[in-house]
Structure 1
Amino acid sequence: MVNTLETVDKIDKVIGELGITKVTENKNVVEYALENGLKLLTLENHTSPVVTLLVVYKVGSRNEAVGYTGSTHFLEHMLFKGTKKHNTDKGNGIDDLLTQIGAYWNATTWFDRTSYFEVVPSEYLELCVELEADRMRNLLLRQEDHDSEMSVVRNEMERGENYPEEAIEKELYAIAFREHPYHHPTIGWRSDVEGVDMEKLREFYNTFYWPNNATVILVGDFEPTKALTYMQKYFGKIPKSPQPIPTVYTTEPPQEGERRFEIHRSGDLPKVWAGYHVPNASHADNYPLAVIRHILGSTYERSSRFYRALIDNSIAAEVFARHDDLRDPALFIVGATLNPEVEIEKAETAIFEELAKLAKEPVTDEELDRARSANRKGTILSKADPSSLAFMLGEAESKADWHWLMNYDDKFDAVTKEDIMRVAGKYFVKSNRTVGHFFPKNSEDGSVSNDGDDDEEEGAPPADAHKAAEEINVTAFLNSRPPVTKVKAAKSTFKVPTFESRVVKQVMPNGMTLLLLQNPGTESVGITSTTRAGKFFSYKEPNALPDFAADLMTKGSQNYSKLKMAEILENMGIPGGLEFAVDNYRLSFGSNLVSDDMPQFVDMLADIMRHPLFLEEELAKTKIEWRARLTEAMSNTRLMAWNSVRRNLYPKDHPF
């Protein structure tokens, strides 16, 4: 039964009057259907006066073909440009209105879907429903908007090309998939993005943006009868698509041999990635693959197989395993960023050896139990945030349906050691994989090389940009915009939320200050800690000293070894939950955990804070890891620019 502010009889009466059908209910999520085919999912959560509205369209880059790749992403940008009723020219565009009410809003595009969302005070739900329904079918799609947004999309594409990870991922999917549209990057191929015309975008919009190709998800603080009334009022008047929504029928044939590629471009550390073809999210083998992902682990999972094989042995600075469970068969991806002077073949061999072990030897009981616990507790922590839960439901809708999420943990728990060995032996084979090597390439003077033929560096401002900037009259520009329409203040039954009076402050005998704030109903606890121990207090010492100290605190304490600490945190579902950060004035960390785990977490935290071991062997490994991080940071232009600014603003012996 749903935890609702209204009676079931009242809700049933209203949906009968509105012509809305209640389809099903599962774990407090209620599914409704409008006559035009729109699916609506609702989940009430009255812990705070905030509501999340998410609209998921079942269209992504899998619905594109050569000539108009990137259209889904481009349309995502265009949906913020306005409709006849709501646009910036009138001063009542989406951004104009949502800014005034303190909303958080955005949109994202992926292989299988495009999602638009707003997180707003509960009393403004109707405004959000109106805006989303309006742009579903009434988008202006003007040429001038297309032209202005082109530079934004191009800039986003160029920023992505600066990251080696994005370059190797794009190439990996493009080579692993030759026929299926997962071959195309979500952002599109550059020539398609720059060449697609407005008519093609309009055709794409008129093909996929209909109520019978969308799911609206509502999570948070709302009254069901009002919410359903808003849905019928604004979405209900939109007809279903005049033609059936096109389906994707192209399938990728089995791979018949290993494929390899190399990328040589600007960067600082070599990388090796490998992708294996795996089934779609609805396939039974999806769950053993998800368990394997946990067991292989990542940089943040220090008890995992990959961490111990590659990072503990100083082969890699970063390592990961990733399971892309999508609507169609996709990839299981593994990869590593190498430490300086390590041969790429050494890292590749270590990765493949770990994958081979999974097919030959059963995983341990401890590994399987830890994966199950981490998954279960990760779900609890994600569901503690209503917005996060809305996004989880949206992803489930895009790859299968929302029941997939409701049943996920039970199917994950049912995975056996035999399932893992069978699945690993079936998919992690040489003929089923695509391997990519990234080799950094820099110019002799240390600047990023430009392979283009243009005289000016790609993305650089024109030579007379400073002159153009000087000629802009900012005041005149702002005055030329129409006045923004004021959002009418909505009636609210809630007072302005404040927790000041509920905070309990206690000073411990040792001088530590403790602040407590209860927030029942989430099954979770948030813990943060701040200690005055930043770089300011050691600025005459070696600059990296505070960073090394922070890093070593979680590498072993009096009562908790590095491995034991990692196993406990991963069992709690928070593998990175005790990572300390250092700035100029403080040493700090923050973590969310399941409430039942708090006693053990606090005991471990106290031991780490008071009795860290600072082992020589861990310091040696930390230095190797930091050398790799610093090497990679040298290709981060924004970071390098910021460091240059600070060096010029402050004298050499200044802590900043």
Structure 2
Amino acid sequence: MRLHPRHAALLLALPLAAMAAPTATPTPVREAEGIREYRLPNGLQVLLIPDATKPTVTVNVTYRVGSRHEGYGETGMAHLLEHLVFKTTKQFANVGAELSKRGMQFNGSTGPDRTNYFETFPANAEALSWALRMEADRMTGAKVLKSDLDTEMSVVRNEMEAGENNAFGILVQRTQAAAYQWHSYGRSTIGARSDVENVDIPNLQAFYRRHYQPDNATLIVAGAFDPAKTLAEVQRVFGALPKPTRKLPPTYTIEPVQEGERLVTLRRPSGNQGVFVSYHIPPLASPDFTAFDIAVTALADTPSGRLHKRLVEPGLAAQSFGWPGRNAEPGLLNFGLVLKEDNDVERAQQLLVDTVEGLAKEPITAEELQRAKTQWTQRFDDLMANPQQLCVTLSEAIAAGDWRLLFLMRNRIEAAQLDEVNATLQKWILPSNRSLGRLFATAAPVRTPLAQAVPAADALKDYVPKAAVAAGEVFDTSPANFDRRTQRYQLPNGLQVALVPKRSRGETVEVALNLQYGTLEALRGKRVEANLVGEALALGTKTHTRAQISDSFDRLKTRFNAGSGATDGARLSLGSRRGQLAEALTLMAEVLREPVFPASEVEQLVRQQVTNLEEMAQQPQGVAPQALQQALAAAYPADDPRAFLGFPDYIAAIKGLTTEKLQAFHRDFFGAAHGELVLVGDFDPAEVKPLVERLFGSWTAPQAYARLTTPLPAVQGLKLNTALKDKANAMVLGALLLPMTDDDPDYAALRIATHVLGASGFDSRLLTRLRQKDGVSYGAGAWLNASSFEPRAQIDVYAIFAPENRARVEAGLNDELARLVRDGLTQAELDTAKRAMKAQADTWRSEDGAVAGAIAGHLERGRQFKWNADLDARGEALTLAQVNAAIKRWMDPAKANWSWAGDFDKKPAAK
């Protein structure tokens, strides 16, 4: 989907009775860098990526069809089909609901060159077999029914309207449309509203039958599976699909050379302003493409890029960014600036153009080239250690012509020469190739070369695969095994440490560090400092600038993230590798213990925060939660760290943030006496222990620490309404407050109830009602949070929708909540929820970063993973009567608090 990720999900294993096993076997095509390619007789390309180190499997299917393949009147068809293949097929009444029942993570997305689907689930032969059967069924068996389209149409409109709320996103669409006269890349993937609303179902079915075929698809299986058995299963299931007799016509439109600057002006309500520029470039397969990837790093990197230095640092813009279009056919090189309302748009535009097109006079430097290579290598290494992300990234390479283009791009980046990069950029980054400028009559215009398609086979003729990434150990991710493998101890200053050594793919290590600080009285009036000090830590230290810190982490192939809050302290994470861990931890300790908060960097941070908040203050998804949280915290005075300020007050407070305030807060509150440090992954404990003690063992803070209590607010039955003008999308958020901790005997039952109500994805009651049945909401759901320290729990419910559908959304929410309390769950729902929740738990424990964060929370609470196992066991043992009794005991819809935000003066559209 274009705007929102799908919820996690799995499918029901049903036999495809009509399929007879074919006799022909898959043909091995090639093996490169740990990936084995096969071809079935019907044309299906199969890639197998075995990785026994992660106890999950990802099944990915990429269809070589996107918005580029749509004809006149067909815009949005590829995206519509992405919705409808989650509906009815020959074997399933509702594919999305069946996926959700099994707790799988899944997604679908549509781009210009491809449509992609994947599902990730705990390694299990039966689940894998079923997922393959499901994908084979919807490859040719989706019914694409008019009834499904009718209920989904409001959902698609809702998605369009959510996109319409994003003014900068529309600016990007309009600018790219102006860049193209003929090619389909100039059209938004979601399509023209008129085409989507008037789509002819036979035409849509014909589009599906034409493109959803085995010879137009690539199946990828990655993770912990048996390659031989899986290949046999693929042959049995997919091999039964007949080879199409139709021939897909090639696309051959080449955009003419642009002959002058083009300008787009967009005027609409928004919390920020922006400037965006595009230049035509060759496709991903072209040898020239490397230069554009490098140019993006040199110009748009934060904090080292030229645009950041020249516009963001002086306050002329709030943010800079860029990307090259990685397409099968000639695409666009893009750069943009996000501006505050009081920034000068014309000045920013001129500086943007001068900086980008100034590469002719100020070529890429050796330092910028090396930074681009370092960042690319780090991202590539991270990618190869993550089977799910590798599948999704390979789908982009497949869409561009061949999956091996990913590795060819890596090789080309590594081999890039400075003079060749600059020569390429000077050919393409020209004023006449710019879609932002004005048209002038010019006697002798300077024009770019004509971009030509580059066959992937030609590009790959000299490609030599590298060795596959080294595998780690096969690790048991059960709670009991994590508790057995975890080494726990405490430093003299009080810092609690947990080490979980395990050999991991790519020798990766994940680190989580939580620091608690302050007391209620000491933190009064310091909410802004407490909220932003974590993000400000890496702005500079006594010996390193912000850019140097960023470059050092890139060089160390390390991800570093830090955040903080007034009530929950600082939360930091590090993703590194065995060989770089010691240096990365040392740098993290320097960032933590020796920040200086440079004034110029703090000013940038303030501008960025203000810009983001000003935009959030005009978006339903920002306003509805803010209004509800402010109401629930109304009992606290303004200086209380537990108070919640409205947007205007909080923006004013942030504008008063200074270097001196951050320095004082860090000096008074930061230390490791009350904290938890966790390492999970490929490291030697004997080397790590003395390093950790040297870096953190003597670090304490002057101020005492006492955890802030957050009693349950005495608030119920609120109905808040916030009017927002000219917004095509609206949101409602509800909160039911419960006097319960996560150790309450009924907590396990309410987890299951909330899962069925709104946390289970497509088969949840809320999404089934509001999206599948009523067709009035693109996204709806519910979740349960409970404190470990005091009786405060909260069931949150949300929905996004077109504002004219408010009455139907409100009726649907009320009906489903009342039905849940009145009738309870069914036995089938209870059984399905138990299976799905177990699968979800098994999946998240396969992610080392998530595990590190969970163990840090356990240390703070005096728990181990046994607590999770016991909670899961209590849930598994619950009977239907017990769950339904807990629902009646705790859930009273009349006590729920609701916050609505949107343009509710809009009238329902005429049908």
Aligning the two structures, in what range does the TM-score lie when normalised by the shorter sequence? 0.7 to 0.9
Give the drift of 1:494. 7.7
Q: 505-514 or 407-416: which moved more?
A: 505-514
The Cα of 1:536 is off from its aligned counterpart by: 6.7
Tell me by how many angstroms 1:340 deviates. 4.0
Distance 2:496 2:67 in 1: 51
Question: Does residue 326 of structure 2 align to residue 325 of structure 1?
Answer: yes
**Aligned equivalent of 1:470:** none
Matched, 1:571 2:555: yes
Mapped to 1, the partners of 2:327 and 2:557 lie a distance apart of 23
CA contact (8 A) 1:534 1:585 kept: no
Which one of the candidate residues 592, 595, 611 is aligned to 1:609?
592
Q: Would you say the 8 A contact 2:285–2:401 is kept in 1?
A: yes
1:636 correspondence with 2:636: no
> Is the contact made by 1:380 and 1:523 (CA closer than 8 Å) also made in structure 2?
no
1:592 to 1:58, Cα distance in 2 relative to 1, 3 A: same
CA shift in 2, pair 1:621/1:36, >3 Å: closer
Task: From 521, 539, 543, give the equivalent of 1:559.
Answer: 543
Q: Following TM superposition, by how much is the alpha carbon of 1:568 offset from its aligned partner in structure 2, in angstroms? A: 1.2
Conserved? CA contact 2:66–2:112, under 8 Å: yes
Q: CA deviation at 1:542?
A: 4.5
- 1:78 and 1:23 map into 2 onto residues whose CA distance is 33
Give 1:174 shift: 1.2
2:132 is the counterpart of 1:129: yes
Distance in 1 separating the partners of 2:397 and 2:519: 44
Tell me, in whole angstroms, the C-alpha distance in 2 between the residues paired with 1:583 and 1:274.
40
Structure 2 vs 1, CA of residues 361 and 495 (structure 1 numbering), >3 Å: closer, same or farther? closer
In structure 1, what is the Cα distance between the partners aligned to 2:332 and 2:403? 22
Which amino acid is the alignment partner of residue 93 of structure 2? N
How many Å separate the matches in 1 of 2:356 and 2:493?
Answer: 49
Counterparts of 2:427 and 2:168, CA distance in 1: 27
Deviates more, 1:528-537 or 1:141-150: 528-537
| 8 Å contact from structure 1 (residues 53, 217) kept in 2 | yes
1:587 aligns with 2:570: yes
Larger displacement relative to structure 2 (39-48 or 509-518): 509-518
| TM-score normalized by the length of structure 1 | 0.84
Q: 1:152 to 1:207 in 2, by over 3 A?
A: same
| 1:43 equivalenced with 2:27 (yes/no) | no
Range moving further from structure 2, 237-246 or 614-623: 614-623
Distance in 1 (alpha carbons) for counterparts of 2:57 and 2:184: 35
* Alignment deviations for residues 79-109 of structure 1 (CA, whole Å, 9 cap, x no partner): 0112122214xxxxx3343334321112111
Segment of structure 1 superposing worse, 78-87 or 352-361 = 352-361
Secondary structure in structure 2 of the residue aligned to 1:315: coil
Q: Aligned-pair distance for 1:119?
A: 0.7
Which residue is 1:487 aligned to? Answer: none
Q: How many Å apart are 1:140 and its aligned residue?
A: 1.6
CA distance in 1, matches of 2:78, 2:68: 9
The partner residue of 2:530 within 526, 546, 552 is 546
Residue 104 of structure 2 is aligned to residue 103 of structure 1:
yes
Deviations, residues 409-444 of structure 1 (Å, cap 9, x unaligned): 11111111112221221111111011289xxxxxxx
What is the letter of the counterpart of residue 496 of structure 2? Answer: T
- SS of 1:262's equivalent? coil
Map 1:86-485 onto structure 2 (within 5 A): 86-88=92-94, 94-123=95-124, 124-298=127-301, 301-435=302-436
Find the aligned partners of 1:116 and 1:75 in 2 and give their Cα distance: 12
- CA distance in 1 between partners of 2:607 and 2:81 (Å): 45
Compared CA separation, residues 28 and 99, structure 1 to 2 (3 A):
same
In the alignment, does 2:73 pair up with 1:67? yes
Preserved contact between residue 532 and residue 564 of structure 2 (Cα < 8 Å)? no
Look up the equivalent residue of 2:490 and give its one-letter code. V
Closer/same/farther in 2, CA of residues 570 and 436 from structure 1, 3 Å limit: farther
Shift of 1:509: 2.5
- How big is each residue's C-alpha offset from its partner over 1:107-137, in whole Å with a ceiling of 9 and x where there is no partner? 1110000011111222211000000001111
1:596 counterpart residue number: 579
What is the CA distance between 1:616 and its match in structure 2? Answer: 3.5
Task: Tell me if the contact between 2:261 and 2:437 (Cα under 8 Å) persists in the aligned partners.
Answer: no
Q: Which amino acid aligns with 2:545?
A: S
> How far did 1:545 drift?
1.9
Instruction: Confirm or deny: 8 A CA contact 1:534 1:587 kept in the other structure.
Output: no
Counterpart AA for 1:78:
L
2: CA distance between counterparts of 1:620 and 1:388? Answer: 35
Distance 1:535 1:318, change over 3 A: farther
User: Does the Cα contact within 8 Å between 2:87 and 2:148 map onto a contact in 1?
Assistant: yes
Q: Using the alignment, how far apart are the partners of 1:631 and 1:147 within structure 2?
A: 37
Contact 2:181–2:255 (Cα < 8 Å) also in 1: yes
- Please give the alpha-carbon distance, in whole angstroms, between the structure 2 residues aligned to 1:108 and 1:378: 22
C-alpha separation in 1, matches of 2:55 and 2:29? 27
In the aligned structure 2, how far is the partner of 1:139 from the partner of 1:629? 42
Instruction: Identify if the C-alpha distance between structure 1 residues 232 and 378 changes in structure 2 by more than 3 Å, giving closer, same or farther.
Output: same
- The equivalent residue for 2:499 is 516
Greater Cα offset, 562-571 or 110-119: 562-571
Question: What amino acid sits opposite 1:540 in the alignment?
Answer: R
Aligned to 1:12: none
Letter in structure 1 aligned against 2:419? E
Please, which moves more after superposition, 245-254 or 183-192? Answer: 245-254
Q: 1:537 to 1:289 in 2, by over 3 A?
A: farther
**3-state SS of 1:517 partner:** strand
Q: Which moved more, 1:420-429 or 1:509-518?
A: 509-518
Contact 1:548 1:619 in 2 (8 A): no
Which region of structure 1 is more displaced relative to structure 2, 565-574 or 252-261? 565-574
Q: Which amino acid aligns with 1:284?
A: P
Q: CA deviation at 1:499?
A: 2.0
Report how far residue 535 of structure 1 moved: 10
* Deviation of 1:208 (Å): 0.5
Letter in 2 for 1:251: I
> Given that residues 377 and 594 in structure 1 are in contact (C-alpha distance below 8 angstroms), is that contact kept between their aligned partners in structure 2?
no
Does the residue aligned with 2:307 lie in a helix, a strand or coil? helix
Q: Tell me the CA shift for residue 246 of structure 1.
A: 2.3
Deviation at 1:276, TM superposition (A): 0.5
Greater shift in the superposed pair: 534-543 or 50-59: 534-543
Which sits farther off after the overlay, 609-618 or 158-167?
A: 609-618
The letter for the 2-side match of 1:505 is R
Assess, with a 3 A threshold, how the Cα gap between structure 1 residues 67 and 505 changes in structure 2: closer, same or farther.
same
Shift of 1:360: 2.4
User: Unpaired segments of 5 or more residues in structure 2?
Assistant: 1-20, 439-474, 644-911
User: What residue number does 1:440 align with?
Assistant: none
Q: Distance in 1 between matches of 2:50 and 2:29?
A: 17
RMSD: 2.3
Contact 1:60 1:112 in 2 (8 A): yes
Counterpart-to-counterpart distance in 1, 2:519 and 2:223: 41
CA displacement at 1:72 relative to structure 2: 0.2
Contact 2:357 2:431 survives alignment (8 Å): no
SS of the residue aligned with 2:510? strand
Amino acid at match of 1:230: E
Please tell me whether the aligned partners of residues 431 and 437 of structure 2 are also in contact (alpha carbons under 8 angstroms). Answer: no
Alignment CA distance shift 1:143-1:436 (3 Å): farther
Does the C-alpha gap of structure 1 residues 424 and 534 become closer, same or farther in structure 2, counting only changes over 3 Å? farther
The one-letter code matched in structure 1 to 2:528 is A
What's the CA shift for 1:571?
Answer: 3.1
Query: What count of residue pairs does the alignment treat as equivalent?
Result: 579
State the alpha-carbon separation in 2 of the partners of residues 620 and 81 from structure 1: 50
How far 1:285 sits from its partner (Å)? 0.6
Partner of 1:26: 32
- In structure 1, how many angstroms separate the alpha carbons of the residues matched to 2:86 and 2:110? 14
Range 203-212 or range 402-411, more displaced: 402-411
2:773 is aligned to none
| Residue matched to 1:531 | 515
SS across alignment from 1:264: coil
The separation in 2 between residues aligned to 1:548 and 1:496, in whole angstroms, is 36
Contact 1:55 / 1:115 at 8 angstroms: preserved in 2? Answer: yes
The answer as to whether partners of 1:45 and 1:221 remain within 8 angstroms in 2 is yes
Distance 1:534 1:595 in 2: 34
The one-letter code matched in structure 1 to 2:433 is N
Task: Give the aligned residue type for 1:45.
Answer: D
Distance 1:433 1:383, change over 3 A: same
